[in-house]
Amino acid sequence: MSITVHQFPCLSDNYGFLVRDDATGLAACIDTPDAAAILRELAGLGWKLDLILNTHWHPDHAGGNAEIKAATGATVVGPKEVERIGQAPDRQVAGGDSVSLGETQFQVLESGGHTLGHIAFFDAADRVAFVGDTLFALGCGRLFEGTPEQMWDSLQRLAALPDDTKVYCAHEYTAANARFALSVDDEPAVKARTEAIFAARERGEWTVPTTIGLEKATNPFLRAPLLADRMGLAGAKDHEAFAAVRAAKDSFKG
């Protein structure tokens, strides 16, 4: 079993992802930030789109569903909340479900917090996860709809994946996240990673995908319980420490 992932930037800071099941040639797109860009990339690759997999309802993730479905006949698979952008998914999925693309299986992981119904897709055989706006390189999604406790649980579900899992986040927010990470965490591994990130962005390189192991070692949101003392929150519960780091990021002017 194997997959090929084709990644490309679109909109101002989104990434589009096309995934092909190599055994059958069937393809999926993860979210639909920009229908024209996705259709153009598909044509360039000569891939046949079978599935649209949505992580959450936001327009920069599901806004291209109708146009891409009309152009390709692909089946839309996503959480119920996707109906908020105008059309219910053809197949509703939630945590615990699985979705097949040819011979490839994606486990659906509940990852609410950024939106209530947010989900992630994990291909265990290839160790690849598409996490939408839940986990970013050195960051995590804003809590537009969920509670810190819900988001913390979602992040722990992702952190429990194998360390070498490639994590495809939906935005290139890493340089801004790195400036914040430096302001709350003096761990040498964090400093080293942020320097590598600033240099990579200077060269115009992408910082996505990342890995679960790298995020566990350096992401201030996953490391929140270890930062609690420093933030004057000794004895705080893990999700309370997470809430404090999230609040600090929301008001950070870096």
Residue list 38-67, contact with Fe ion (CB under 5 A): 60
Q: How many residues bind Fe ion (CB under 5 A)?
A: 2
The least CB distance from residue 172 to Fe ion, in Å, is 11
249 binds, among Zn ion, Fe ion, none (CB under 5 to 8 A by kind): none
User: Using CA atoms, how far apart are residues 193 and 180, in angstroms rounded to an integer?
Assistant: 13
User: Using CA atoms, how far apart are residues 135 and 169, in angstroms rounded to an integer?
Assistant: 7
User: Using CA atoms, how far apart are residues 31 and 69, in angstroms rounded to an integer?
Assistant: 12
User: Using CA atoms, how far apart are residues 246 and 249, in angstroms rounded to an integer?
Assistant: 5
* Binding residue for Fe ion, selected from 21, 41, 123, 133, defined by CB under 5 A: 133
Residue list 131-160, contact with Zn ion (CB under 5 A): 133
172 binding Zn ion? (CB under 5 A): no
Segment interacting with Zn ion, rule: CB under 5 A, options 45-53, 126-134, 146-154, 230-238: 126-134
34 binds, among Zn ion, Fe ion, none (CB under 5 to 8 A by kind): none
User: Using CA atoms, how far apart are residues 133 and 220, in angstroms rounded to an integer?
Assistant: 16
- Catalytic position from the list 50, 60, 153, 185: 60
User: Using CA atoms, how far apart are residues 165 and 151, in angstroms rounded to an integer?
Assistant: 20
Instruction: Name residues whose C-beta falls within 8 Å of residue 5's C-beta, 6 or more positions apart in sequence.
Output: 17, 18, 19, 128, 168
Binding site for Zn ion (CB under 5 A): 58, 133
Just list the catalytic residues.
56, 58, 60-61, 114, 133, 171
